[in-house]
Homo-oligomer: A and B are copies of this chain.
Amino acid sequence: MDTNAGQVTGKTDTAALLGPCARWPVEDREIIRHVLDRAGDKWTALVIAALDDGPLRYTDLLRRLPGISQRMLTLTLRQLHRDGLISRTAYAEVPPRVEYVLTPLGRTLHDIVVSLIDWAGIHHDEISRNRSRFDAATK
């Protein structure tokens, strides 16, 4: 990383400043990258989207997210909790009950995530067609 560090020390990295991260200072870049990576995780988006119905229990989420493994649900939930995007409430009952719900911060991301999912749903057929056409042409 920082391959052009030795080029011109006075100009910092003007080239990089033109990119999509231009609005944010250099020291934040990698954190933004990290946030972006996490948002792009396989399940994070879908978990957040699933939580718009209100509080959900662990097993509810498991059923609402076809294909997710217990492991990944646990990990994803922990990350989201750690980042303050969801809150976790455990009730001392038998059998135990744990409910997850979006925090205000989480809800701000929720809206974006939902629009992304909607986008995928709306345009996936167009994308499929583009892909087929492309493959046919490149054959």
* Chain A residues packing against B (C-beta within 8 Å): 1-2, 4, 13, 15-16, 18-21, 23-24, 28-29, 31-37, 39-42, 45-46, 49-50, 52-53, 63-67, 81-85, 105, 108-109, 112, 114-121, 123-128, 130-131, 134-135
Contacts and interface: CB of A to CB of B under 8 A. Distances in A.
Copies per complex of this chain = 2
A116 B39 CA distance: 9
Given A40-B45, A130-B82, A116 B117 contact: no
28 contacts: A1-B66, A1-B67, A4-B63, A13-B66, A15-B64, A16-B64, A18-B63, A19-B65, A20-B64, A21-B117, A28-B125, A31-B124, A31-B128, A32-B124, A33-B67, A35-B124, A36-B46, A36-B117, A39-B116, A40-B41, A82-B130, A83-B130, A83-B131, A84-B134, A105-B130, A112-B116, A115-B115, A116-B116
